[in-house]
Structure 1
Amino acid sequence: MGSAPLLSIVMPVFNDEATVASSLQSALRQTVHDIEIICVDDASTDGTAAVIERLAARDPRVRLIRQETNRSAFQSRRTGILAARAAYVLFLDGDDELVADAAKKALAKADASGADLVGFGVTVVERDGRTGGAYESRLQPPHRSLDGTAVLSGLFPIGKAAQGQLWRYLFRTRLLRDAYALLPDDLMLARVNDLPLMFLTAALATTYVSIDDKLYRYHFGRGGSGHVVDTVERAEFYASAIRSIDSIGPAVHELAGTGADGLLLLDTYASARLSMIGHVCFQLIERSDSAVLDAALAHLHTLAPAHDIVIAAARFYPATLKTLKFHATWHGIGDRPVRSILLTTSTLRTGGVSAVLASQARYLLDAGFRVTIVARKSGSDRDVVPAGAAFVELAGRDLVERLDEWAEICRAHEVDVVIDHQILYTPHWPEYALMARAEGASTIGWVHNFVGRPIYDGNDRLSLIERCSNTLAELVVLSPLDVAYFKLRGVTHTVYVPNPPSPLLLESLSHPVARTPPAGRIELVWWGRLDQHTKQVRELIEVGVQLRRLSVDFRLKVIGPDWDHMTAKKFNREAHRRRVGDHVVAVGPLRGARLIDAIDAADAFVSTSIIEGFQLTIAEAQARGLPVFMYELPWLTLAQHNEGIVAVPQADARGLARQIADLLDHPERYTALSRASVEAAERTSSFDFAELYRGVVTGTLPPGFSPEPTLADARELLGLMVFFAERSRGRGRANGSDASVGARLWKSATPVGKAALRRLPGLRPVANRAKKWLHGS
């Protein structure tokens, strides 16, 4: 056979009849003549072999090796490498080309450096002939030279998307044979058959050098790249790339056991494997027809654990999480025993959601569960953590790091169920739910406000909850009307559960306060945060103005911390401007005994909130015998069948003032209201909350907590959505952005109408009126 050639060019080919002649001609035009071109035909069914035979007849440097059955390009390359006679190998696919001086420049660099691997530049030719895109930039050599273990870590950097294209390098032939020797002789890889070999070769190599010259022309879109996933079979083909990277796992572990840097090798492989899983997920999401995507993602989950899919997507292709979370299948809590509960919020503080969470933790501890509380941001008040509960604060700098922490917490604390108290306030709760599920934990979403809150705020939180509801084992809301909304929207795994009583409420019921009707001046009180957006604290000033106009002798003490753009100083300045500053006074926050003394010094509680989920201050006021005067919140369970409450329509400050003034003329009415308030507070706290929460976390709540929607529910929901849209539109006009707000509200408010009409056609006249009004916005 004569002396060995300087270079072997190995060409795996399969059904490349249309392009193989051009590819082979590019090899034959090399300025280095002393080469061999080994074409391995993988049982082509077209005229590929005939084309090669014609060229081989004219040039003896071309050799054709036929495989009787299709064994994948991975096996074709093995055949070519074993047949190669040169000390170095270049790879050329049957639909690409080498530039004329590729062999000369690559061999010169190898001879000068003695390197095992020589990297070089690549030109990516798009379908329309364009070159120089982003993909081409990513394929250029990343390093000038690497030695030892730096070859592997440099070519496959941990945390970066793995690149394993064999045609980017000149190889020492012996290195490729050693890599193949680590793998089964009969291994066949249908998809991504180059990266596994490239990874092992990089692990075995001791030296790498590179040149900037672009020696290879890669045609994107030919062969198996860039195709639309329009069938389940094609989805399975794309996903088989995961089997390819998994196939070298045993070889990697074998190498790790024999080298000093085994841990680095294992970590690098784990990163490359996750990169491949993320890449497959990205390809399926980006290229799948909508009719195929669900089946494609379901198949993906048969090839990789859900944990790996979520981490891979988050780490390497975070944009895919936006789609992945919308294509989850619903899993309930299941029948397995529930022992460990994780409660989560943004930051743990006093009051609000944190107070509910802390109280919930105590009841769950009393019910015999292990409880872990996780704050996703820093700044928590650790004194709020109940005795017996573990507390963890996430420290990750970004979503990926926090998801990693989340998974570790779920494992370390053996979490069975997560209760997420932030799903109405944060956009990333579905990612956490997916990660918890990957670790074997179900997630329960807890909604802390009425369903109309996102429409009032003008955001898309409702759509997010609905579209990602399958990531939740259960959705917990605070009223039957909220249940009706979500069930009309198809979220059937929705229940309503009252919030637990606060320590103030429980203490008040254990020490009842005897109330006498006011004589002369009536003392009024309000407490909460000075939030204008939802609690409408400026309306308290308006109520004071109306009481003064009615010549009522009164004082209204406003208690609570500054909030957003409202402060006690600003509030008092406005009260003085409205000439009621001596009667309506914000005193800042009061706590403990000072708050109780202020409540007990009052005759009635006033509330002007426009939207609430479970207004605990109402129950706290009633527990101390105070009648409640408020704007209507018809969904509020606290206010339903509550004879201790006097409610008037929203924004009717004059009507509220008249009702308060009436107390001075009818002391017997005051006594009846006070007595009814205490009775209502007792009902609010009469639940066996430990047993109630046991039912929540085990999925065994009685059916009464998940009622079916009625025509009356749908009619009320439509009216409320229009009301909150109108209020939000008013804010938009004040800010000079009415047109955009109106468009957003139309998009936000109409889904419930459409769903209601599908189930309850009799609502069409009401819906038409709502539609006409919303279009007018």
Structure 2
Amino acid sequence: MPTVSFVVIAYNVERYIADCLQSLQNQTNPDFEVVVVDDASTDSTKSVIESAIQNDSRFSLIAKDKNEGAHLARRTGVSHATGKYVVFVDGDDRLQDTACEVLSSYASGRNFDILRFGRTVVPHGSANQDTALQEERSFNLHTEDMHGEDVLRSVFSEDFGTRNTWSLIDCMFDGEFVRSGFAATYDEPLGRMQDSYEFFVLASRAKTMRFFMEYRGLRYNLGAGVSGSGLETLQKFEHGHTGIHSSMNAVLRYAADSGDDNMTRCAQWYRHVVLGIVGREWVMRLTETDQIAGMRSLRRVWGDENTAYMLLDPLTARAQWFVDHDAVPSDADPYRRWLTLLNSLDLNGISDTVIQQRVNGFLALKGKLDKHEFEIKQAKIAEQQERYRQQLQLEEQRRVLKTGTPIRRVVDAVFPEGSERRNLLRRAAHRILHR
């Protein structure tokens, strides 16, 4: 039995897979095996794998003839892993050359089901260095070891303040534990965020999770796969959020099947997190035009109640910005468009108390913004009326200067300017005024 089994999942990663496998061949501790699962790639990934491992007996390739997603690929791979410990590797990432040596040495003599280690994040594609550093900080949080129900709660709740991630690829698992854990997962394809379901199952069964964050054993290529940011097509967005929906439902179903209160509470917390993630992606990844079609797609898959929750995050944040900055949204502002979409949803009889609270909170904030907008409009109307009054007054003054008052016009007619009578009148007026 090898000390470590590396289970590599690969799908259309021809650009990265050779580097990934090379990082495993370079391990300073040779006591390992590598199980590579090609999930029916349509590019040259499979041939690159075959070429890279052909002379290394520690490597084996499972080439699937049908693409079924990362969950079933990982499930297949771990069922063939025989090591004392198991480490999952994505085909577009790589491990440090010392990973097998350092992790197995640290694990020796320590009892755990899950051992989380650190990662270095490298930006690719649309990802930038600032985003990579932010992601790196979030994945390398130091925390105390967790035991029992706290393992699940440390990832799927905010009970401990800082939350651990549900990522599988920066963990070493006890071999027997992870094999039995994956055997307990659903034998069905899942879409994006399938690792959250897998980690939920494993964390719910774990007795101990330890942390070795000072060792950055994973080199994670941000933006190489589905990670990163930037606009995407409506079709890709629909495929992504539909896959996330399947993974979320798997978590909810697994928790419901267990009948465990802690799992049920954690699953509901996770559901709200997922809704927020999908809502942010709808805002960031779709153009203004595609957002409207994307909202129809969200309603069809998730229903009005969940879709409302997705909209409430950006709407609330935008409304709060206007209130804080003593401003009002223009007709072209996204706030107007998002509010129209929210108003198109059926929000009667919301069953989720958290969503109802969010709706009530937004409506209260919207009331403040509406009042503020009304006051600003009234002030502008009053200002316009005052400017109009002043304009009329100025025009009257100009007219008087030009044509004179009615009395002045009579005097000018009876006593023409320059006449003797006009001069006599002026002298008489002068004597009267200076008595």
Indicate which of 346, 354, 357 corresponds to 1:404: 357
> Does the residue aligned with 1:113 lie in a helix, a strand or coil?
coil
Q: Please point out which of 309, 328, 332 is paired with 2:341.
A: 328
CA contact under 8 A between 1:158 and 1:272: conserved in structure 2? Answer: no
Of 226, 229, 246, the residue aligned with 1:224 is 226
Structure 1 pair 78/320, CA: closer, same or farther in 2 (3 Å)?
A: farther
Corresponding residue for residue 8 of structure 2: 11
| 1:165-564 aligned within 5 A | 165-185=167-187, 187-211=188-212, 212-226=214-228, 228-240=230-242, 241-255=244-258, 257=259, 262-311=260-309, 319=317, 325-326=338-339, 328=341, 330-331=343-344, 404=357, 426-427=368-369, 453-457=375-379
Write the letter of the residue equivalent to 2:255: V
Which SS does the other structure have where 1:121 is aligned? strand
The alpha carbon displacement at 1:273 in A equals 1.6
Once the 2 structures are TM-superposed, how far is the Cα of residue 317 of structure 1 from its aligned partner?
A: 10
Q: 1:249 is matched by which residue type in structure 2?
A: L
- Report the equivalent of 2:153: 153
The residue type equivalent to 2:341 in the other structure is A
The answer as to 2:31 corresponding to 1:34 is: yes
Choose from 51, 66, 76 the match for 2:63: 66
Determine the C-alpha separation between the residues in 2 that align with 1:333 and 1:129.
39
Residue type at the aligned position of 1:157: S
Q: How does 1:617-628 map to 2 (within 5 A)?
A: none
TM-fit CA distance, 1:238:
2.3
Alignment match, 1:99: 96
Deviation at 1:276, TM superposition (A): 1.1
- Listed one character per residue, the Cα deviations across residues 449-490 of structure 1 (whole Å, up to 9, x for unaligned) are 9x97422446xxxxxxxxxxxxxxxxxxxxxxxxxxxxxxxx
Q: What SS does structure 2 have at the residue aligned with 1:32?
A: coil
Structure 1's 116 and 329: CA in aligned 2 closer, same or farther, altered over 3 A?
Answer: closer
C-alpha displacement at 1:301, in angstroms? 2.4
CA deviations 1:697-729 (Å, max 9, x no partner) are xxxxxxxxxxxxxxxxxxxxxxx58725849x9
Q: Report how far residue 251 of structure 1 moved.
A: 1.9
Q: CA deviation at 1:333?
A: 9.4
Q: Take 1:88 and 1:49, find their aligned partners in 2: how far apart are those partners?
A: 26
Deviation >4 Å, runs of 4+: 159-162, 309-318, 320-324, 329-334, 400-403, 405-408, 422-425, 724-727
Cα gap change, 1:314/1:264 in structure 2, threshold over 3 Å: closer, same or farther? farther
SS of residue matched to 2:169: helix
The yes-or-no answer on 1:723 pairing with 2:384 is yes
Q: Residue type matched to 2:384 in 1?
A: F
1:576-629 superposed Cα distances (whole Å, 9 cap, x missing partner) = xxxxxxxxxxxxxxxxxxxxxxxxxxxxxxxxxxxxxxxxxxxxxxxxxxxxxx
Displacement of 1:230 after TM fit? 3.5
SS in 1 for 2:7: strand
**TM-score after normalising by structure 2:** 0.74
Please state whether the residue corresponding to 1:58 is helix, strand or coil: coil
Look up the equivalent residue of 2:253 and give its one-letter code: P
For residues 139 and 245 of structure 1, the distance between their equivalents in structure 2, rounded to whole angstroms, comes to: 21
Corresponding residue for residue 331 of structure 2: none
One-letter identity of the residue aligned with 2:166: G
1:28 is displaced (CA, Å) by 1.3
Cα deviation for residue 311 of structure 1 reads 4.4
The amino acid of 1:271's aligned partner reads: W
8 A contact 2:87–2:172 mirrored in 1: yes
| Partner-residue secondary structure (3-state), 1:65 | strand
Compare relative contact order (CA 8 Å, sep 6+) and give the higher one, 1 or 2.
Answer: 2
Which residue number in structure 2 is paired with residue 752 of structure 1?
A: none
Distance in 2 of aligned mates of 1:320 and 1:455: 20
Provide the rounded CA distance (Å) in 1 between the counterparts of 2:315 and 2:180.
33
Quote the Cα distance in structure 2 between the aligned partners of 1:321 and 1:14: 42
1:242·1:273 contact (CA, 8 Å) conserved in 2?
A: no
Pairs within 5 Å for 1:563-642? none
In structure 2, distance between residues paired with 1:722 and 1:19: 64
Unaligned runs of 5+ in 2: 321-334, 391-435
- Structure 2 contact 238–297 (Cα < 8 Å) conserved: yes
Shift of 1:315: 7.5
**Partner of 2:328 in structure 1?**
none
C-alpha distance after superposition, 1:74-93 (max 9, x if no partner):
11101100000112111111
Tell me how far 1:405 sits from its aligned partner. Answer: 7.8
Give 3-state SS (helix, strand or coil) of 1:189's partner.
coil
Give the total of aligned pairs. 364
Tell me the secondary structure at the aligned position of residue 109 of structure 2.
helix
1:270 shift after superposition = 0.8
Cα distance between partner residues in 1 of 2:16 and 2:175: 26
CA change 1:320–1:59 in 2 (3 A) is farther
Corresponding letter in the other structure for 2:135: Y
**CA displacement at 1:178 relative to structure 2:** 2.8
2: distance between equivalents of 1:123 and 1:266? 33
Give the structure with the larger helix fraction. 2
**Counterpart code for 1:32:** N
State the 1:108 CA deviation.
2.4
SS in 2 for 1:136: helix
Deviation at 1:143, TM superposition (A): 1.8
Measured in 1, the distance between the counterparts of 2:222 and 2:248 equals 22
Q: State the Cα distance separating 1:146 from its structure 2 match.
A: 0.8
Change (3 A) 1:15 1:405: closer
Contact 2:234 2:286 in 1 (8 A): no
Please report the RMSD computed on the Cα atoms of aligned residues, expressed in angstroms.
3.6
For residue 277 of structure 1, what is the amino acid of its counterpart?
L
- Residue-by-residue CA offset, 1:621-656 (whole Å, 9 max, x unaligned): xxxxxxxxxxxxxxxxxxxxxxxxxxxxxxxxxxxx
Match of 1:118, SS? strand
Residues 104 and 203 (structure 1 numbering): CA distance in 2 closer, same or farther, change over 3 Å?
same
Matched, 1:111 2:114: no
Q: Rate the CA distance shift 1:234–1:129 in 2: closer, same or farther, 3 A.
A: closer
Name the SS of the counterpart of 1:144 in structure 2.
coil
Match of 1:285, as an amino acid?
V
CA distance in 1, matches of 2:314, 2:116: 24
Contact 2:39 2:67 in 1 (8 A): yes
Q: Percent identity?
A: 23
Letter in 1 for 2:204: A
| Alpha-carbon contact 1:310-1:321 (below 8 Å) kept | no
1:567 corresponding residue in structure 2: none
Q: 1:162, 1:276 within 8 Å by CA — same for their partners in 2? A: no
Residue type of the alignment partner of 1:105: V
**Which residue number corresponds to residue 691 of structure 1?**
none
Return the offset for 1:177. 2.8
Equivalent residue for 2:144?
144
Question: Which of 40, 45, 48 is the equivalent residue of 2:45?
Answer: 48
- Equivalent residues in 2 for 1:666-677, closer than 5 Å: none
Flag the 1:312–1:110 CA change in 2: closer, same or farther, 3 A: farther
Per the alignment, do residues 291 and 317 of structure 1 end up closer, same or farther by CA in structure 2, a change over 3 Å counting?
Answer: closer
Q: In the superposition, relative to structure 1, how do residues 129 and 98 fare at CA in structure 2: closer, same or farther (>3 Å)?
A: farther
Contact kept? 2:252, 2:268, Cα under 8 Å:
no
Structure 1 residues 58-80: Cα deviation after superposition (integer angstroms, max 9, x where no partner): 21111111000111111110110
Q: Is the 8 A contact 1:55 1:62 kept in 2?
A: no
Superposed CA deviations along residues 98-141 of structure 1, whole A, max 9, x for unmatched, are 01111222222322321101011111111278476111111014
Amino acid at match of 1:59: D
Residue in 1 aligned with 2:54?
57
Structure 1 counterpart SS, 2:339: helix
